[in-house]
Amino acid sequence: MQKRSLFNRLLHFSYRNILIFIILMLYKLVLFHYSLHIHNIDMNPLDYIIAVGSLMLFSFWTLWLPRREQWVSLIVLNILLTAIFYADLVYYRYFEDIITIPVLLQTGQVSSLGESIQSLVFLSDLFFFIDWILFIPYVVILIKRRKRKNRVPAYSATTIPLGKTLWSRAIRGVLTFVLGFALTFGPIKFYSETWAQGLFEGNWWNMALYNTTGLIGFHGYDIYRYSQEHLGPEPTLPGEEMAKIKEWFQQKNEKTTISDPLFGKYKNSNVMVIQVEAFMNFMIGKRINGQEITPNFNKLMNESMYFSNYYHQTGQGRTSDADFSSQSSLHPLPSGSVFVRYPDHKYDVLPAILKGKDYSTNAFHAYDSSFWNRYTMYDALGYDRFYSKNDYTLDEPLGWSLGDKSFFKQSLDEMQTIKEPFYSFLITLSSHHPYAIPKSKQELDVGEFTGNIFGDYLQSIHYVDAALGQFVEQMKAQGLWDNTILYVYGDHDNSIKDKEYYEQFLGRSLSDLDMKQIMNQVPLLIHLPDGGEAGTYPEVAGQLDMMPSILHLLGIESNSYHIMGNNLFDGQERFVTLRTGAFTDSNVYYIPSADGVYDHGSCYDLSTRQITEVSTCRAGFDQVEQELHISDQVIQYDLIRKLDQE
């Protein structure tokens, strides 16, 4: 008789295997969590229990298999989970979010980020694969050696009757499943009844969901959420919910006034909107080593309206979210991009509205037309034509595609053939992460930032600014300057989150509030055809405000549209909701906590810039919850189509 160790006697081998698997994967989940560095939120004991439970749920079925098959299955599960965890981590470093099914369906996006992904991978990440490096080769050798030595099968039919083996395997599997289920869903239920109340209905932030369910649970929930939305019959909202939403929009509309003298002052003007890639507000008007970073933008500010507290309101859909929110005055979705998830739903959008007023409507972006599903979405948004990469001559290759200088030039050349009045929407690309523009195009002396990503960012912005300067000159030369509303804004932040860079650049230490504002503010510049209303406008504003504001200038009544943003010209107090659930008005700025619990968030008094009593932000928080929820419902249930039919 072979001698068995205490460990062997205490634990059946199949439990032993699964235990090793769970310990290894738990280590990786913990490593994942702490690699995120999210607001210093530690894993609490319940999080560990959820992690163990979900790993049991993921692997219980391997207990039904014979020894060798169980090993192989556990190794395959290990490889699969490690790949998912690591992909999530790399994705998080760039997007501050976890990969979801809608994101996976945008595979074009992920592969186009190739160059960026390289800069998001660190040597210390090898710790994710430590078991592959050490453990798996060992197991393979062990299995081989065993096979050679004792040819007795793992489940020896000679010693244990087959029926008994099958029964005990079945029981072990079922027991593990039941225990895994209890360990996973018990704590999640507890969370959802306490601090995570409403989270699964609201779905406002994937990171808060992750903090509730753990990583495996998050993916499970994401699959569930996706199949709910996309499989089965079209979802409908109960009548009373519809009525509430209708009333909400009506009330919002009642507040708008059209008595302002600017209403219709620029009727029938052309409209040129430029959405600039990763164009942030903090470096506007600033110098480095005596050189202006955005000299052309700064010059334009003298004869334009400059909004110095303009916020991007984007979520996972990044560029496409900035585009969607600006055109539709609705919020982007909590996960994925509206462009990808609901391109077939109806929206009140600027291009379609202007097309209805006899405008020529065109979108210009020198990149693959399928990216962010633009080709499909732009058709639905009412553009006559989408000029994408194939419509441009690649005479200035830069970064992902064509340099912005040539992009602007070719776009304006094309506009000479387009009937006026026109609505032209242009999206730039040269200042895209990781901001590596060729040496020959680097004109700025970025001093101490030379060779790092922040310096590269400033260089690429300086290049884009020069492109903007040339664009304005060409507009003037083509006779467009005096009959066109020019609306220029940044799409979102630059994904560079190291506070030190900003402190070094701005020469002062920065609070949490400063950092939030820096990362969320993009500049907005509106040049009116007669150069009217020029000046700096510090009142808060956001991307959702574009559509109603442009309609206002053109004298188009917007009462029948479903608008969530502010009209920048109606003189009303403004309120800006960000997709994370943060918000600001002229008095406060609320930063939500990663767990989504209201009390755990920070409410800042903007007059002192200090944290104040959190209850000061309560009314705003409720408003934000309602607003984001309504926006999500409008998009998901295709409500604009339904409300219009009523």
How open is the CA angle 499-504-507, to the nearest 5 degrees? 115
- Chain centre distance of CA 210: 15
Q: Which of 507, 504, 425, 410 is nearest to 457 (CA)?
A: 504
CA nearest to 356, candidates 549, 526, 543, 558 = 558
Using the rule CB under 6 A, is 371 a contact of ligand GP9?
Answer: yes
Residue 509 in 3-state DSSP?
coil
- Minimum CB distance to ligand GP9 smaller for 429 or for 496: 429
Shortest distance, position 400 Cβ to Mn ion, whole Å: 11
Q: 370 vs 560, which CB is nearer to ligand GP9?
A: 370
Where are the alpha helices (H) located in 478-587, listed in sequence order?
499-506, 512-520, 546-554
With H, G, I as helix, E, B as strand and everything else as coil, classify residue 174. Answer: helix
Q: Which stretch binds ligand GP9 (CB under 6 A): 148-156, 344-352, 365-373, 447-455?
A: 365-373
The count of chain residues that interact with ligand GP9, using the rule CB under 6 A, is 8
Element (H, E) at 488: strand 484-490
Task: Tell me the closest approach of the beta carbon of residue 116 to Mn ion, in angstroms.
Answer: 11
Looking at 152-160, 293-301, 305-313, 426-434, which segment touches ligand GP9 (CB under 6 A)?
426-434
Smallest separation, CB 566 to ligand GP9 (Å): 24
Nearer to ligand GP9, 289 or 370 (CB): 370
Q: Which is nearer to ligand GP9, 103 or 547 (CB)?
A: 103
Question: Which residues in 389-408 contact ligand GP9 (CB under 6 A)?
Answer: none
Q: How far is the CB of 316 from Mn ion (least distance, A)?
A: 12
How far, in Å, CA of 62 to CA of 64, rounded? Answer: 5
Compare residues 318 and 405 and give the one whose CB is closer to ligand GP9: 318
Residues between 262 and 291 that touch Mn ion (CB under 5 A): 277
Span interacting with ligand GP9, options 28-36, 186-194, 286-294, 363-371, rule CB under 6 A: 363-371
Which residue's CB is nearer to Mn ion, number 214 or number 317?
A: 317
Contacts of 228 (CB under 8 A, 6+ apart): 235
Binding partner of residue 367 among Mn ion, ligand GP9, none, CB under 5 to 8 Å per kind?
A: ligand GP9
Radius of gyration in angstroms for the set of CA atoms belonging to the chain, rounded to a whole number = 28
Which span sits near ligand GP9 by CB under 6 A: 172-180, 302-310, 425-433, 527-535? Answer: 425-433
95 binds, among ligand GP9, Mn ion, none (CB under 5 to 8 A by kind): none
Does the protein bind ligand GP9 through residue 367 (CB under 6 A)? yes
Strand 270-276 versus strand 484-490 pairing type? parallel
Contact between residue 407 and residue 392 where contact means Cβ atoms under 8 Å apart: yes
Closest to 540 (Cα-Cα) out of 492, 496, 606: 606
State the binding partner of 331 from Mn ion, ligand GP9, none, CB within 5 to 8 A by kind: none
Stretch 163-182: interaction string toward Mn ion, x if CB under 5 A: --------------------
Q: What is the DSSP letter of 389?
A: G
Q: Is 432 in the site for ligand GP9 (CB under 6 A)?
A: yes
Q: Between 56 and 90, whose beta carbon lies closer to ligand GP9?
A: 90
Residue 282 beta carbon to Mn ion: minimum distance, rounded to whole angstroms? 17
For the CB of residue 432, give the shortest distance to ligand GP9 in the complex, in Å: 6
Whole-number minimum distance, CB 492 to Mn ion, in Å? 6
* Amino acid identity, position 527: H
If the CB atoms of residues 273 and 554 are measured against ligand GP9, the closer one turns out to be 273
Q: Which is nearer to ligand GP9, 51 or 429 (CB)?
A: 429
536 phi and psi, to 5 degrees?
Answer: -100, 130
Distance CA 23, CA 15 (A): 12
Q: How far is the CB of 497 from ligand GP9 (least distance, A)?
A: 16
Instruction: Report d(CA 501, CA 452) in Å as an integer.
Output: 10
- Ranked by CB distance to ligand GP9, the top (closest) residue is 318
Closest to 538 in 3D by CA, of 518, 552, 524: 524
Nearer to ligand GP9, 365 or 527 (CB): 365
By C-beta, is 427 or 526 nearer to ligand GP9?
427
**Residue 491 is a binding residue for Mn ion (CB under 5 A):** yes
CA 452 to chain centre: 24
3-state secondary structure of 603: strand
Tokens representing 288 are 């480095």
One of 28, 265, 312, 318 touching ligand GP9 (CB under 6 A): 318
Can you tell me which of 70, 281, 296, 319 binds Mn ion, judged by CB under 5 A?
319
DSSP code of 570?
A: S
Rounded to whole angstroms, the Cα distance separating 246 from 251 reads 9
**Sole binder of ligand GP9 in the list 100, 319, 328, 406 (CB under 6 A):** 319
Work out how close the CB of 413 gets to ligand GP9 at its nearest, in angstroms, rounded to a whole number: 21
Taking residue 531's Cβ as centre, other Cβ atoms within 10 Å add up to 13
| Closest distance of CB 108 from ligand GP9, Å | 9
Which structure tokens are listed for 104? 């996976």
Min dist CB 491 to Mn ion, Å, is 4
Options 82-90, 392-400, 484-492, 505-513: segment touching Mn ion (CB under 5 A): 484-492
Amino acid, res. 65: L
Size of the site for Mn ion (CB under 5 A): 4
> Could you tell me whether strands 310-311 and 535-537 are parallel, antiparallel, or unpaired per DSSP bridges?
unpaired
Compute the distance between CA of residue 626 and CA of residue 252 in angstroms, rounded to an integer: 13
Mapping DSSP to helix (H, G, I), strand (E, B) and coil, where does residue 307 land? strand
- If phi > 0 it is left, if psi is from -120 to 50 it is alpha, else beta; for residue 459 that is alpha
Contact 43, 30 (CB under 8 A): yes
Q: How far is the CB of 317 from ligand GP9 (least distance, A)?
A: 7
CB of 524 to ligand GP9, least distance (A): 18
The residues of the shown chain that bind ligand GP9, judged by CB under 6 A, are 318-319, 365, 367, 371, 427, 429, 432
> Which positions lie near Mn ion, rule CB under 5 A?
277, 318-319, 491
